[in-house]
Amino acid sequence: MIRAALATAGAAILLGGCASGGAPALRPITPVAPAARAGVILAPEVMAGTGLRGVIGLPAAALTRRFGSPRIDLVEGDARKLQFSGAACVLDIFLYPVSAGAEPTATHVAARVRRGGGEADAGACIGEVEQQSAAR
């Protein structure tokens, strides 16, 4: 009974809209120009700490010379992610330009174990990936 009453009320509302003379008047939409971003750069937070073994601040070319070809080389906007792997860990290195017009350099490092994805010691993973690269 309630369902039938709701259906009747819904139909009455829909038909009432049709009887009122059709569709409402449309207003023109004024496009808004996006804010200019040319030359604007947000400086990334650069990771600091012991155990990063000289990775922070290196450009992609130096990282690939040091670690070999990355498993993943992903570019999105002005950011870049290089992923390298060792036998037991995966190393992600994130590169951003630190000033307008600058070449992107490593600003952040993340390491995780290959099995399970838990956090790994970044310094140990850097050493493992570097050692594996040298053995090739």
In the three-class reduction of DSSP (H, G, I as helix; E, B as strand; rest coil), residue 105 is classed as: strand
Assign 49 a pLDDT band (cuts: 50, 70, 90).
low
pLDDT per residue over 3-18, tens digit each?
Answer: 454 455 555 454 455 5
Question: How many helical (H) and strand (E) elements, i.e. helices and strands, does the chain have?
Answer: 3, 4
Report d(CA 84, CA 65) in Å as an integer. Answer: 12
For residue 19, which amino acid is it? A
Q: Are 77 and 125 in contact (CB under 8 A)?
A: no
pLDDT per residue over 50-85, tens digit each?
Answer: 667 789 999 999 999 999 999 999 999 999 999 999
So where are the chain's domains? 60-135
